[in-house]
Amino acid sequence: MAGTHQEMKAQHQSLDRISTLPQDTMEKVLSLMPIRDALRTSILSKKWRYCWTGMPTLVFDDKIVKLSSNVEKEIVKYKLVNAIFHVLLLHKGPISELNIFISNAEIANEIDQIILHLSWSKNIKKFYFGIYKSYKLPFSFFSLQGLECLELLFCKIEIPLMFNGFSMLKYLRFYDVKITAKMLQQFLTACPLLEGITFTGNHRTDFTGGDKFTFVELFKCLPLIQGVKFSRVYIKHFTAGGMSQKLPTSLVYLRILFLDQVCFHKHDELSSILCVINSSPNLENIKLKMIRPDRQYTVLDPQEYLDLNMAHLKELEIISFHNYTPEMEFVKLVMAKSPMLQKARIELNTSVSDHEEVKMLRDLLFMPIPRASPAAKFIIERPKK
């Protein structure tokens, strides 16, 4: 009988190998689960009871509480806030990554208190935050001095007078963030280690006040930048007024340039983009997503850019290519000035006919200026249905 008991115990232990894992490994496993499920593991055994309190990653979203659709808003708000405070008050270990994405805009005041509670921590390295409302970040947010990665959605930023910057921040993403040009410049200047920025959105960016903020002012704030992505709502401000052929300071660290919804119908936009490219001697990847011009487009004169420097460019990708003259001239220019180019991919807009596609291929085949990298793989595709 004893032997049978020992066998059963050994079999049980072999089946429950996860409980024998090191504590930090178990915490990382729990961090990959929805927080509701992670909390429920506390009933498994004594060893699991408080394991979740050391999770380094916390994710708070609408799924943290499970309620039927006909529950009153006040009850939903109470349950949601109560669950978040319950987790934070019982949590004991350091929080290195925090995600807060809440669609309930009625808990803005409670979120202020949550951020105030978290602002005492110097361990939070990654913070992803968004409420589906134009939520003004409290001043306590700017005390999170350990941040290395920050993503903000649907927020409004007003920088306090005593803000000393995020000295460790390396990656920043804004999506539909309301911030004036002056404050954005102040914010970026106070983050000297930034290596990657993503500014996207639809219409909420607020560059009012008449402050000039073009690519010239922007890149002055980003001496170590390696990768950037901008959507049109930002591009139209950064390219206002056009630019000369080079920026005052060379972007020696910039490797990736991704511009979403580019339109070459304005000389300002085209000249500004070429200026950034020409000021980035180590650029390796260019990705452009085009939009249809709403009026007559400008003309790109390749003779103006004979000194264009793209010595390290490896990949070019253009999406929604309309086959307009400035687009085609841009492709030819890149092909002629990129000796290290390995791949050029063009995805055609649906408006491009088969006849235009054939003509486009013929034009590229008989370029007046030879391709700098004859071995580069050139791909023309239509969008997948």
**pLDDT over 90 (residue 264):** no
Distance of CA 297 to the CA centre of its chain: 30
pLDDT in tens, 289-342: 998 876 666 666 666 777 788 899 999 999 999 888 888 888 888 988 899 999
Q: Inform me whether the pLDDT recorded for 204 exceeds 60.
A: no
Nearest residue to 245 (alpha-carbon basis) of 163, 333, 321: 333
Separation between Cα atoms, residue 94 and residue 342, nearest integer Å: 44
Amino acid at site 224: L
Predicted structure pTM score: 0.84
Domain ranges of the chain: 219-385
Alpha-carbon span 300 to 329, nearest angstrom: 6
Evaluated on CA atoms 336, 340, 342, 347, the torsion sign reads negative
d(CA 140, CA 160): 10
d(CA 191, CA 172): 10
225 vs 221: CA distance, rounded Å:
9
Distance CA 80, CA 114 (A): 12
Six token digits for residue 373: 């990298």
- Tell me if 337 sits within 8 A of 316, measured CB to CB: no
Q: What count of other Cβ atoms lies within 10 Å of the Cβ of residue 177?
A: 23
Contacts of 162 (CB under 8 A, 6+ apart): none
| Beta carbons within 8 Å of 374's beta carbon, 6+ residues apart | none
315 CB contacts (<8 Å, ≥6 apart)?
A: 284, 285, 286, 287, 341, 342, 343, 344, 345
Confidence of residue 223 (pLDDT cuts 50, 70, 90): very high
pLDDT of residue 233: 85
Lowest-pLDDT range of 46-55, 187-196, 221-230, 352-361: 46-55
What pLDDT, on a 0 to 100 scale, did the predictor assign at position 257? 97
Q: How many secondary structure helices (H) and strands (E) does the chain include?
A: 12, 12
Distance of CA 59 to the CA centre of its chain: 18
Mean pLDDT of the chain: 82
Query: Is residue 104 scored above 50 in pLDDT?
Result: yes
pLDDT score of 121: 79
Q: What is the DSSP letter of 80?
A: H
Q: Encoding tokens for residue 348?
A: 């055609």
Question: Tens of pLDDT along 118-162?
Answer: 888 788 999 999 987 778 999 999 999 999 999 999 889 999 988
* Structure confidence at residue 110 (pLDDT): 87
Range with top average pLDDT, 38-47, 260-269, 347-356: 347-356
Q: How far apart are CA 185 and CA 227, in angstroms?
A: 18
Token readout for 15 is 């089946």
Q: What is the CA radius of gyration of the chain?
A: 26
Say how many residues make up the chain: 385
Q: What is the pLDDT of residue 15?
A: 46
Is there a contact between 154 and 175 (Cβ–Cβ < 8 Å)?
yes
Do residues 58 and 95 make contact, with C-beta atoms less than 8 angstroms apart?
A: yes
How do residues 60-101 score in pLDDT, each as one tens digit?
888 777 765 666 777 777 888 888 888 888 888 788 899 998
Q: What pLDDT is stored for residue 12 in this prediction?
A: 47
